[in-house]
Structure formats: C-alpha cells, structure tokens
Amino acid sequence: MHIREATAADRTAILEIILPIIRDGTTYALDRDMSEDEALSYWTESGKETFVAEEEGQILGTYFLRANQAGGGRHVCNCGYMTRTSATGRGVARAMCEHSLRHAVSKGYRAMQFNFVISTNERAVRLWQSLGFEIVGRLPEAFEHPTQGYVDALVMHRRL
Amino acid sequence: MHIREATAADRTAILEIILPIIRDGTTYALDRDMSEDEALSYWTESGKETFVAEEEGQILGTYFLRANQAGGGRHVCNCGYMTRTSATGRGVARAMCEHSLRHAVSKGYRAMQFNFVISTNERAVRLWQSLGFEIVGRLPEAFEHPTQGYVDALVMHRRL
C-alpha cells in the first residue's frame, strides 16, 4: 500500500470513499445531505493536507491532517480517516494512521488529537488505542446516531 | 445590563473588545496576529449568532453561539465570550453565559460545550463550574501559553 499526497486527479476516488460514509452518518458529525462539492471541500480545504492510500492502482482510503487549533494550540494536529467501504478490514486505516503519525512528527507537531470519535464506532476506538491514543474526554450524548439515538463521543489524544 | 443581538453598528465596539484579548493570546487559541477583518469575521461568521452586552450605552462584552458540530452533533452548542478588559470583575461574563444558556434552550439545543478552556484561566474555569459546567476532558499541554509554556486545556460541558 502506497500512501501519498492527494492530487486533483484523485477527486473522483475521494468522493467514492467519503460520500457513502457521510451519507451513512454513523461515524462522522457531518451534514449527511451535503453536496459532492461541499464534501470534497470539507476533505481538502485550505489548512488541511490530504492523502490517499493506493494499492494496485486503486485508492482504498484517504485522510487529512491539519492543526487542531490556531495560535497557542497549533502544535497539536487533528486527522480524519476514511476507508473505502469495500476495503474495510484490510488495515487501511491503521496504515493511514501510522503514516499520519510519522508525517505529523516530520511537521513538528507535538501531539495528535481526535475531537469526536463516536463511542459506538468500537472498531475505530480499539484501533486508535492500539496505536497509542488515550481517551482524554467523554462528551455525554454528543452524537445523535441514526439508529442508536444519543451516544457519547470521545476525545482521543496521543503525544508524538 | 442589556444583552442583545449584535448589529453592523457594533463593529467598532466588538473589535475594541476582542482585539486586545486575541493579541494577548493567553485565553483563546487564535492567531495573535490576525487582522481586524479576520478577527471580526471569526467572531461574526456565518453559522454564529453574535450578541453584545450593553450598559448605559457602552458595549461591555460580546459572545457568539453556534452549533458545535454538524450532522449528528448539531444538538450541542458552543459559545465564546469576551469581556471588555476595563469591565472585568463586574459580572459581564456571567450575565452573558446565563443569557446564552437561555438562548440555547430556546433554540432547542440539548447541551453546551466549551472545547478549549485554558486551564490557567482559573477565573473562567471557576465561573463555568459555578454555572453548572463540568470538566469532561483534559487535553494535556494543548495550549502554549505566552508566558507559562505548555499548559492543559479543558473540555467543559453542561446539559440544558
């Protein structure tokens, strides 16, 4: 699996990956009805570096990395990762997170923080924990899950 | 003290309040060097409702209220409050927070969350606690304080 910076030519593949996850609405606090342009803008907007994970010519996942706060908070970065639905269970998210941790170190960040990990997304919580992230906050009933109602969201953090 | 929605006529007063606090850089994770236009845009941008606290014709403080997340997270709101430096200690922040809690209820929000309360801002932490907020997260060394170095930031939360 090769992880590299996204280019304009990856637009279609990125949308194929992120739109079903946004429409599903169970793992990200994003407007489920956002347009393709809004979705792509969100994922690739100014201030974010966007990467894709490629294997045998197919894009299997994508992530962004950005400073989580401005000013005195800019030494902590934040990432979002999405794996192509058909490629789940193949270690794509793990590979992207490992890549992002290395990239964050190379950019001088001191920590990585996830602001809003949905507690019912147990696969993700376990994966981040296995990569050294700790739960540093629990936001009670902060996410309205489409089928499970109000569930907690977690703040997860890892020093670099 | 009268708290009301901000209008275009409040532009100068809002800038008089927020610019010194942004330049100071000890309580908000914002670019200390941002321009006046950037500062005003940040405080009044689309998606935020902006209010001012007025007493005898002078604007003593200002706050914004917005949804803290989109999609499944939009039932939780977030606020930022700033008091005119010369008016600290007169209950302006408390009055604005009480106003924002009532306003948030009227808009149907189920909770209010502060994402990044600098731990060294003890006056604010105590005030929010006295208004029913609990610390639900601690972000280790998430803020580089201009004089105190890396200090924790707190996530604070109150049900409505």
pLDDT per residue as tens digits for the range B112-132: 999 999 999 999 999 999 999
Structure tokens, B43: 């405080």
Looking at the complex, does the CB of residue A120 fall below 8 Å from at least one CB of chain B?
A: no
What torsion, rounded to 10 degrees, do the Cα atoms B30, B32, B33, B39 define?
Answer: 50
B75, B140, B143 member nearest A136 (Cβ): B140
- Over range A113-135, report the average pLDDT: 98
**What percent of chain B has pLDDT above 70?**
100
Looking at the complex, does the CB of residue B76 fall below 8 Å from at least one CB of chain A?
A: yes
Q: Do B72 and A31 touch (CB under 8 A)?
A: no
pLDDT per residue as tens digits for the range B14-64: 999 999 999 999 999 999 999 999 999 999 999 999 999 999 999 999 999
Per CB-CB distance under 8 Å, the chain B contacts of A69 are: 29, 116, 142-143
Q: Which residue do the tokens 């269970």 mark?
A: A89
Structure tokens, B143: 């803020």
Per CB-CB distance under 8 Å, the chain A contacts of B32 are: 71
Cα angle A69-A75-A81, degrees, rounded to a multiple of 5: 70
Write phi, then psi, for A156 (nearest 5 degrees).
Answer: -120, 145
Per CB-CB distance under 8 Å, the chain B contacts of A136 are: 137-140
Cα angle A63-A128-A46, degrees, rounded to a multiple of 5: 25
The predicted pLDDT at position A28 comes to 97
Write phi, then psi, for A50 (nearest 5 degrees).
Answer: -115, 135
Q: Give the mean pLDDT of chain B.
A: 97
ipTM score assigned to the predicted complex: 0.95
What pTM was estimated for this model as a whole? 0.96
Helix, strand, coil percentages, rounded to 5, for chain A:
35, 40, 25
Nearest-neighbour CA in chain A from B2: distance (Å): 31
Shortest CA distance from A159: residue in chain B: B140
